[in-house]
Structure 1
Amino acid sequence: MPTSSPAPSPQRLIVKIGSALLVDPSGGVRREWLAGIAADIAARVAQGQQVAVVSSGAIALGARRLGLPKGGRASLEDAQAAAATGQIALSQVWAEVLGAHGLTAAQMLLTLDDLEDRRRYLNAAATLDRLLSLGVVPVINENDSVATAEIRFGDNDRLAARVGQAAGADQVVLLSDVEGLYDADPNTHPAARLIERVETIDATILSFAGAGSGSGMGSGGMRSKLQAAQIATAAGIALVIASGKRDNPLRDPGGTLFLPQRGASPRKAWLAGRLTVRGKVAIDAGALKALRAGSSLLAAGATSVEGRFARGDVVDIVSSDRPVARGLSEYDSDDAARILGTKTDAQAEILGYAPRSALVHRNYLVLL
């Protein structure tokens, strides 16, 4: 793969910081390192950039204060208690280090539902936009004190990518305890090569992902970072995976640059980046060809329905058990199942009302 050229300077930047960078092994804040990050952010703001931070660390900080085992992750209840306790400390330290440079910090706590629900997503986007336009530095974290498995991102890499979408960012930088994406595990393969530039996230790139975080302190890993890169680049946002294990890492992040793809419309980018769907609709080869040509999904090309969903819910469109598109269903799951494989002129008699123009309209559908 070609070597990278420096990523263009973004107007609006999202910086994600992992727990292993912000919290030392004893559970204390790495304040000197954090002060360096604050200085980097202040320098970028002085250059006219707008910066938001997605900061991990609340659970690790809270676990130390509460004396909880396993870094506060022994149970869901421990993690929620640790998050509630640690978030206060996390917000305070960010306010202090940014305030030292004359910057105002703001706190935003989000759950998966806040960015999966379209109305709440737009509300979060409006808040982010206003804060950034005022020169404030939003500090964002998952609301782990209330989130359960069903409504969790589970890692801040994908949260950062979704925040990048909501904020209309140009670039997302994931600072972690790894240098970037390698073609093999550098811990076990000394000759592993750092991939500096990725134009397309294909099967080969995805095969380079290992599971788990290097420190054992956080919840992410290279797999979650590549998922974040898919979300960001599909929305026309560049993403960088870089090491934060040095002072002032934002001065020259280096690492691996994932180039943005041609940006979809805001609604379609939101659809493509969703992490949850209500159901699935399987399609035949003819329907797949039509979708790729830009058509809506018609009931005639659908072969089966899975899950329970209502009209307006998000569904995956699958071919050979692989998601190929995602969109808003025009029917609930029961009615969708009733008209599978039928032509439009036969659907009124089956449904008892005038059929809609499509099962999933192309205006509310995005290819994956």
Structure 2
Amino acid sequence: MVADLTPAASRFTPAACPRLVVKIGSALLVDPDGRVRRDWLRGVVADIAARHRAGQRIAVVSSGAIALGARRLALPKGGRASLEDAQAAAATGQIALSHCWAELLHAEGLTAAQILVTLDDLEDRRRYLNAASTLHRLLGLGVVPVINENDSVATAEIRFGDNDRLAARIGQAADAGGVILLSDIDGLYTANPHRDPTARLVPEVARIDARIRAMADADSASGMGSGGMISKLEAARIAQRSGAHLAIITGKRDHPLAAFDADHRGTVFLGEKIGTARKAWLAGRLTAKGRIEVDDGAVGALAQGRSLLAAGAVRVEGRFARGDVVDIVGPDGQVIARGLIEYDTVDAAKIVGRRSNAHEQILGYAPRSALVHRDHMVLL
């Protein structure tokens, strides 16, 4: 299982990456008894401090609140027996988690800040921009923001569900050049290395296609975290489309960031800027209000950079208002684009499949130029 090592870590150095997001999962930060692994975390903080002194500004996405709170409250199943238990554990454990980060960072001469977010905070454009503004100011002040999902109020319907994707979205908001996911595995393998001894580490990925997705395994090795390799690939997709590089590296060694600098071992997904910051935000969204199914002709037109016209639409699903985000799906059911719809559900359904010259008579008002305009759309 030895891979050829490449200079991938050079993309995450302070000189190449002025702003970096580092994500740490529960399985690394909290031991099976529900206690913080302070000695290990102290090494991570030392790595962060060294990078900070070299000019890099770092935001941390830290799991662990539920695991810590479950121990303090003596809750079964690590605090995940019910939604209420998870929320109570998160509320209790977040205080301990924040205190630990603040104490260790302070020992290195750094100031910590806490930011708790929900899915809606980053899916709603205005709230996203507010969060981005806060992150930019904190990083500009040399503060280390420590971010977590606000599990004390989140429900299954409004959750990221894992901090891998949260880290990628924070990377977008912070305008970070890189995201590092500290994991219980040292990268993406051609197969599950726990089951297949011939599995090989993939050092670099330029594009996430069907071949790469087939390598992912949904299982988390520890059972403590919520994200497996599939969630990490989704995080990589979000980061790539905003132009940021994302690395999956092992956190199961001391000073994992310094070790990555030394041996470059991990999988790096190369950033690929797709357009404006707004389009990157659209591409990184995890939710949509509806779906527009289109025909093969529309698929070809979208690939050429054109707007989606009603004539190319086949069916409308969901409930949405003008300006909401919708997914555009091809005949095979795959999402091919995402954008801001120009009509509400009722009017969109009326003009599906109809040419533009019939829209005014159908709707009773002057039609807009497209169902989804190309300026408010991103191909996926």
Aligned to 1:251: 258
**Partner Cα separation in structure 2 for residue 156 and residue 252 of structure 1:** 22
Q: 1:275 aligns with which of 286, 289, 314?
A: 286
**Partner Cα separation in structure 2 for residue 349 and residue 239 of structure 1:** 50
Aligned to 2:378: 366
Say whether residues 1:91 and 2:98 are aligned partners.
Answer: yes
**CA shift for structure 1 position 191:** 2.1
Change (3 A) 1:211 1:87: same
How big is each residue's C-alpha offset from its partner over 1:94-143, in whole Å with a ceiling of 9 and x where there is no partner? 00000001100000001100000000000000000110011000000000
Aligned to 1:228: 235
Give SS of 2:94's match.
helix
**Partner Cα separation in structure 1 for residue 218 and residue 193 of structure 2:** 14
Q: 2:151 aligns with which of 111, 120, 144?
A: 144
**CA shift for structure 1 position 284:** 1.2
Say whether residues 1:168 and 2:160 are aligned partners.
Answer: no
Aligned to 1:284: 295
Give SS of 1:172's match.
strand
Contact 1:2/1:197 (8 A) holds in 2? no
Say whether residues 1:342 and 2:344 are aligned partners.
Answer: no
Q: 1:242 aligns with which of 236, 244, 249?
A: 249
How big is each residue's C-alpha offset from its partner over 1:298-326, in whole Å with a ceiling of 9 and x where there is no partner? 11111110111110110000102111100
Residues 76-115 of structure 1 aligned to structure 2 (within 5 Å): 76-115=83-122
| Letter of the structure 2 residue corresponding to residue 219 of structure 1 | S
**Partner Cα separation in structure 1 for residue 187 and residue 201 of structure 2:** 7
Q: 2:201 aligns with which of 191, 194, 210?
A: 194
**Partner Cα separation in structure 2 for residue 19 and residue 27 of structure 1:** 10
**Partner Cα separation in structure 1 for residue 351 and residue 201 of structure 2:** 51
Contact 1:3/1:197 (8 A) holds in 2? no
Deviates more, 1:13-22 or 1:341-350: 341-350
| Letter of the structure 2 residue corresponding to residue 316 of structure 1 | D
| Letter of the structure 2 residue corresponding to residue 343 of structure 1 | R
Aligned to 1:319: 330
Aligned to 2:7: 5
Q: 2:29 aligns with which of 22, 34, 40?
A: 22
Structure 2: where are the runs of 5+ without partners? none
**CA shift for structure 1 position 2:** 7.5
| Letter of the structure 2 residue corresponding to residue 255 of structure 1 | G
How big is each residue's C-alpha offset from its partner over 1:146-198, in whole Å with a ceiling of 9 and x where there is no partner? 00011100000000001011111100000011111111111111221111111
Aligned to 2:187: 180
**Partner Cα separation in structure 1 for residue 179 and residue 252 of structure 2:** 18
Aligned to 2:48: 41
TM-score by length of 1: 0.98
Aligned to 1:73: 80
| Letter of the structure 2 residue corresponding to residue 95 of structure 1 | A
How big is each residue's C-alpha offset from its partner over 1:320-350, in whole Å with a ceiling of 9 and x where there is no partner? 2111100000000110010111222211111
Q: Identity percentage over the alignment?
A: 68
How big is each residue's C-alpha offset from its partner over 1:233-259, in whole Å with a ceiling of 9 and x where there is no partner? 111110000000111101132210111
Give SS of 1:122's match.
helix
**CA shift for structure 1 position 3:** 5.1
Q: 1:204 aligns with which of 193, 196, 211?
A: 211
Contact 1:279/1:309 (8 A) holds in 2? yes
Give SS of 1:251's match.
helix
Deviates more, 1:352-361 or 1:252-261: 252-261
| Letter of the structure 2 residue corresponding to residue 220 of structure 1 | G
Contact 1:4/1:257 (8 A) holds in 2? no
| Letter of the structure 1 residue corresponding to residue 83 of structure 2 | L
Say whether residues 1:61 and 2:68 are aligned partners.
Answer: yes
Give SS of 1:106's match.
strand
Structure 1: where are the runs of 5+ without partners? none
**Partner Cα separation in structure 1 for residue 301 and residue 145 of structure 2:** 43
Deviates more, 1:343-352 or 1:38-47: 343-352
Aligned length: 368
| Letter of the structure 2 residue corresponding to residue 158 of structure 1 | R
**Partner Cα separation in structure 2 for residue 169 and residue 76 of structure 1:** 33
Give SS of 1:326's match.
strand
Give SS of 1:41's match.
helix
**CA shift for structure 1 position 264:** 2.4
Q: CA RMSD in A?
A: 1.1
Deviates more, 1:157-166 or 1:341-350: 341-350
| Letter of the structure 2 residue corresponding to residue 358 of structure 1 | A
Give SS of 1:79's match.
helix
Give SS of 1:181's match.
coil
